[in-house]
Amino acid sequence: MLLTWFLLVAIMLAAYVVLDGFDLGVGVLHLFLARTEEERTILIRTIGPVWDGNEVWLLAGGGTLYFAFPLLYASGFSGFYLPLMMVLWLLILRGIGIELRMHLDTPVWRGLFNGCFGISSLLLTVFYGAALGNVIRGVPLQRHGYFFLPLWTDWKVGPNPGILDWYTVIAGLLAAIALALHGANYAALKTTGELNRRARLAAARLWPALVAVTALSLAATLFIRPDLLDNYQRLPVLYAIPALVAGSLFGAWRLGRNGRERAAFLCSSAYLALMLAGAAAAVYPNLLLSATDPSLNITVFNAHSGEHSLAVGLIWWSFGMALAAGYFVFVYRMFRGKIAGKLDGHGY
């Protein structure tokens, strides 16, 4: 039951990263890919029907985490209070940027909210990557299960780290590049003409950077946390995950180069999901690692709810996720195809 809930939380977070990841990537790139206000509006229309629905997976993942592993939820929200508030404000600003930009047809108004949307999307990608870096690196957990992290200290990985250090900056850079490439593949899938060409070109230019930063992040992770290979050594079949990561990276490049936009997008989706799967396989059964004492780690064994609650909750979770999955299938089928044609006077 504990492994089941660990996998469910991991799957929901992976779903959020893959689905909202292309929204964020489009947000990062829309200021650079588009040359006119009409092209910017077309890029936003590619995510318009789905962006807020994609964020449901973040809320559902947080709710599932609270239900299944309440100690982790309490500890994480106390120690990461500052960055969580920053993420909340960035999510708000991103939503405002999308929803308010068309209310006035003036360059200053639209420029303000275009910038709001683009900058908040970029900062969110960096913060999400740094958050995962903190989980892998470890935090200064105390015996009561809580901790505090300043935004930064001396930028070193050690017993008293900050939220940002050289390792989490690498993780944030990796997330920013990976989600930007994912967004470029999605934009290529949903647009035509010159905008499509620029999106494909952006994906091609981001690909070498993603390969380099992926290799750098793997080396950095093994340097600071060589014990993360323990699960792989106990269960060698897990080494298939990094092999599949390499395959998905190669596929994203080759298929994108050949103009197979849907397949390239699926490969970048697989890359994101497999990277998270590799991290989950490495840390299990830990949920949050201590930077000083492994005996203080928060694990599935010391953070879970009661057995009866988990068993009953699995039934209700299944109903809820079935409804959510049905909704997403309906929405994505309704809005399948490319965005093309002239916009009306309201920008739609």
Say how many residues make up the chain: 348
In terms of DSSP bridges, do strands 286-288 and 298-299 run parallel, antiparallel, or are they unpaired?
antiparallel
Q: At what angle do helices 70-79 and 81-100 cross, to 10 degrees?
A: 80
* Domains of the chain, residue spans: 2-334
Report the first-to-last Cα separation within the chain, whole angstroms. Answer: 48
pLDDT range class, residue 342, cuts 50, 70, 90: low
Instruction: Return d(Cα 152, Cα 67) in angstroms, integer.
Output: 31
- Over the chain, what is the mean pLDDT? 91
Spatial distance between the Cα atoms of 334 and 348, rounded to a whole number of angstroms: 17
Separation CA 201–CA 155 (nearest Å): 35
What does the pLDDT look like over 3-26, one tens digit per residue? 999 999 999 999 999 999 999 999
In 3D space, the residue among 46, 17, 53, 20 whose CA is nearest the CA of residue 199 turns out to be 46
Does 206 have pLDDT greater than 80? yes
Cα–Cα distance between 265 and 186 in angstroms, integer? 6
Mean per-residue pLDDT for 315-341? 86
What integer pLDDT is reported at residue 345 of this predicted model?
41
Q: Are 46 and 191 in contact (CB under 8 A)?
A: yes
Q: CA-to-CA distance for 47 and 38, rounded, in angstroms?
A: 15
- What is the spatial distance between Cα 99 and Cα 248, in angstroms, rounded to a whole number? 34
pLDDT tens digit sequence for 210-249: 999 999 999 999 999 999 999 999 999 999 999 999 999 9
How far lies 3's CA from each of 10, 30, 46, 280, 298, in Å? Answer: 10, 40, 37, 11, 14
Rounded to two decimals, the pTM is: 0.93
Task: Please give the pLDDT value at position 292.
Answer: 85
Q: Above 70 in pLDDT, residue 343?
A: no
103 token code pair = 């209310």
Give the Cα separation of 74 and 96 in Å (integer): 29
117-139 pLDDT, tens digit each: 999 999 999 999 999 999 999 99
Axis crossing angle, helix 81-100 with helix 107-137, rounded to the nearest 10: 150
pLDDT at site 288: 92
C-alpha span between 26 and 36 (Å, rounded): 15
Contact between 8 and 64 (Cβ < 8 Å): yes
Beta bridge partners of 164: 152
Query: What is the three-class DSSP state of 67?
Result: helix
For 46-95, what is each residue's pLDDT tens digit? 998 898 889 888 888 888 999 999 999 889 888 888 888 999 999 999 99
pLDDT surpassing 70 at residue 201: yes
CA dist 58 → 39, 208, 336, 342 (Å): 29, 29, 23, 34
- Pair 255, 263: CB distance under 8 Å: yes
- Grade residue 347 by pLDDT with cuts at 50, 70 and 90: very low
Cis peptide upstream of residue 285 (ω within 30 degrees of 0): yes
pLDDT at 346: 41
CB 65 within 8 A of CB 223: no
Rounded to an integer, what distance in angstroms lies between the CA atom of residue 171 and that of residue 155? 14
